[in-house]
Amino acid sequence: MKKIAIFASGSGSNAENIINYFKNDTENVVKIVFCNKPDAYVLERAKRLNVPTFVFGREEFFHSDLVLNELKRLDIDLIVLAGFLWKVPDAIIDAYQNRVINIHPALLPSYGGKGMYGMKVHEAVIAAGEKESGITIHHVNNHYDEGATIFQAKCEIDPGDTPETLATKVHALEYEHFPRVIKEFLDNL
């Protein structure tokens, strides 16, 4: 049985979608949800879905081995970032080489990097007059949004689209593809 740890910072709709996708899987399981915000809604979602959670602060994440030790204790095989906004420390990246993946709400390498997340990405894409956007599922390395691409899916941007309507299109791609790509990734571990 391969074990997944999801890291999330906010609402957790992608985390919930992933948990539901794997709930009847006999080969893979979402073992835990890690969160850096004690009031994030993802914690409520995880509780409702009977998935344990682990909440940590900035000091614990960046200046101790608390999170890394918990990952090791649970024998985690894959770390999935689903709306997690902090840069993952080198110690975790090194311990889970090529086993930390993220989803980004744009077609990397464009519209990535520090500070480019959520609605900020959609606003930048619309402001630039792009004709398409989408999602990028990628490996996480020591630099924001620079890990190797695993999968991309595109959507058209219509002339009347706003950042909000684009966000809806991108979320649909996330929900459709992210769990399936995680499953394929695990099958090849």
pLDDT score recorded for residue 62: 97
115 is in an annotated binding site: no
> Is 12 annotated to bind ligand?
yes
105 prior amide bond cis, ω within 30:
no
Q: How far apart are CA 66 and CA 134, in angstroms?
A: 35
**pLDDT of 90:** 96
Task: Give the C-alpha separation, 32 to 53, whole Å.
Answer: 5
Ligand-binding site membership of 102 (annotated) = yes
**What is the structure's pLDDT at 131?**
97
Q: Give me the pLDDT at residue 125, please.
A: 97
- Please identify which of the residues 104, 122, 138, 171 carries the catalytic annotation: 104
Output the pLDDT for position 37.
97
- pLDDT of amino acid 102: 97
Q: What is the pLDDT along the chain (189 residues), one digit of tens a residue?
A: 999 999 999 999 999 999 999 999 999 999 999 999 999 999 999 999 999 999 999 999 999 999 999 999 999 999 999 999 999 999 999 999 999 999 999 999 999 998 899 999 999 999 999 999 999 999 999 998 999 999 999 999 999 999 999 999 999 999 999 999 999 999 998
The pLDDT of residue 158:
96
Is residue 104 among the annotated active site residues? yes
Q: What is the pLDDT of residue 6?
A: 98
Crossing angle for the helix pair 13-22 and 163-187, nearest 10 degrees? 30
Span between the terminal Cα atoms of the chain, in Å = 12
pLDDT for 27: 97
Sign of the dihedral through C-alpha 14, 72, 38, 138: negative
Domains of the chain from N-terminus onward: 1-97 (3.40.50.170), 103-188 (3.40.50.170)
Q: Which amino acid is at 17?
A: N
